[in-house]
């Protein structure tokens, strides 16, 4: 099934940008909304009293392929756990609405590749 998982939207960015957006929402809520559109990538953490938002416009992204707008909610603790140890300069995010997010990055100076899949929260 995972081999057949097609996520039509893709963004490549600096890992530090993604990590900063996720960390900004760490103390705000337990979930983060990740949205990809032809304009760019948006990370939103909205709690009862506070909200953080980071928008990375297409001009900042290394690459952007967005066939349709995608928006899903993911658990903050897992996003933090996945992105914290990444040492690769760039990360690829594949996304579709209410589908798993796929994060890909290189390890060992490009000699290996890691793929993380994280299931969304669906209400």
Whole-number Å distance between alpha carbons of 65 and 120: 21
Pairwise pLDDT comparison (5 vs 99), residue with the higher score:
99
Give the chain's domain count: 1
Residue 123, in any domain of the structure: no
In a domain, residue 102? The reply is yes
Going by pLDDT thresholds of 50, 70 and 90, the confidence category of residue 96 is very high
CATH code of the domain covering residue 66: 3.70.10.10
pLDDT at 3 over 90: no
What pTM was estimated for this model as a whole?
0.90
Structural domain range at position 32? 2-118
Q: Is the pLDDT of residue 47 over 80?
A: yes
Evaluated on CA atoms 1, 114, 81, 13, the torsion sign reads negative
Residue of higher predicted confidence among 81 and 2: 81
């Amino acid at each position: 099934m995972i081999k057949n998982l097609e996520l039509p939207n893709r963004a490549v960015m600096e890992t530090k940008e993604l990590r900063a957006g996720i960390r900004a929402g760490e103390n705000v809520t337990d979930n983060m909304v990740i949205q990809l559109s032809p304009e760019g990538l948006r990370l939103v953490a909205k709690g009862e009293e506070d909200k953080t938002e980071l928008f990375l416009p297409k001009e900042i992204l290394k690459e952007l392929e967005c066939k349709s707008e995608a928006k899903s909610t993911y658990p903050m603790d897992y996003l933090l756990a996945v992105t914290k140890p990444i040492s690769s300069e760039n990360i690829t995010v594949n996304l579709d609405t209410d589908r798993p997010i796929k994060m890909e990055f290189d390890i060992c100076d490009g000699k290996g590749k890691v793929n993380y899949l994280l299931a969304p929260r669906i209400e």
